[in-house]
Structure 1
Amino acid sequence: MQTAQRYLSHTQNKMTTNTTTPQETLDRLLKLLISKPEEASIQTDETGDGSIGLQIIVTRPDYGKVCGSKGATIRAIKHIWEYCIARGCNQPIRVTLLEPQAGFAGIRGGIVSSENFDTHEFTATILDVVSFFCDVEVNEELKAGVHRFDIYMTDKPEHIGVEFYDSFKSVFNAAAKANGGLCEFTFHG
């Protein structure tokens, strides 16, 4: 198989070797979720026991976007990184979201233009996340205003199941909404 190729075409992408770190991938996803990525950061703390601590730091207005409704988005992020990616890397990972001390939540934003949706960046982020634990191919098709992603996973580990799929859809639907996109995900393999 080929090594990592980020952009084969506008509709098909394949990755067999992940070339990013869990922190870089989380940073990439975070930039899709929030409105002020230049003011956000991820602090890394490597402990003596070999585990990695990833602390997400965002502004007050973006804090709610990362938390999601009733904490659903941050719980989904934690599941993907702490359970799925950590097992793929054979290294314990802990994700925390630091609550900002200053600022206000702000007014809820209006509808985001669909022109803001970057298919290439979105697909590359999907590839980065899934390729931590298996080979992956992503096909994207825009149909009736909906980006339909077919995600083909080869040699998928047994621990990747319903909870991963639900977490993945929760996080990536939130990211799509933040960028004016509407998505559907179908997993194969």
Structure 2
Amino acid sequence: MKKVAFLLANDFEDSEMQKPYDAIKADGHETVIIGLKKGEQLTGKNKTITYTADASIDEVKADQFDAVVIPGGSSPENLRLNKQIQQFVKDMDSQGKPISAICHGPQILISAGLAKGKTLTCYPPLKDDLINAGANYVDQEVAVDGNYVTSRTPADEPAFIRETLNKLRTPVSQP
């Protein structure tokens, strides 16, 4: 089975972390929560769930993982300017590995310079940010473009999870 990184900081959207995380684990994959500091307690913005960072971004490399999931809420805003977070997603992309981002998650893709030329979706108020970063924005429950899976809101979680699991079940092809 696959090893999946979850990039997480405080104030993530509770369900956008919990539901994909639980579904990926239930599908038999290994999950690793990566934060800015190993062992840090990370709490969702709705305070319904807390996770502990299994590793810090400075102790992991993209080649240790098969995919990355970026939950939304304020978590991506708290991570997007970290150069190691940016490099991690760039390396995942250069290795052709699945990158799934929901809600505000594409903010990390924008900061890493990965949105240009991609068909992506996001939380509707970020539409202009994606367009300004050179992405082809689509307003739909899930957008799949190559190794990218993006969705808009918690209402889109079933489609987001379905397409993320499809990517995990498909062999990675090098770009």
- Shorter-normalised TM-score: what interval? under 0.3
Give the number of the structure whose alpha-carbon radius of gyration is greater. Answer: 1
Structure of greater relative contact order (alpha carbons < 8 Å, 6+ residues apart): 1
TM-score normalized by structure 1?
0.25
TM-score normalized by structure 2?
0.27
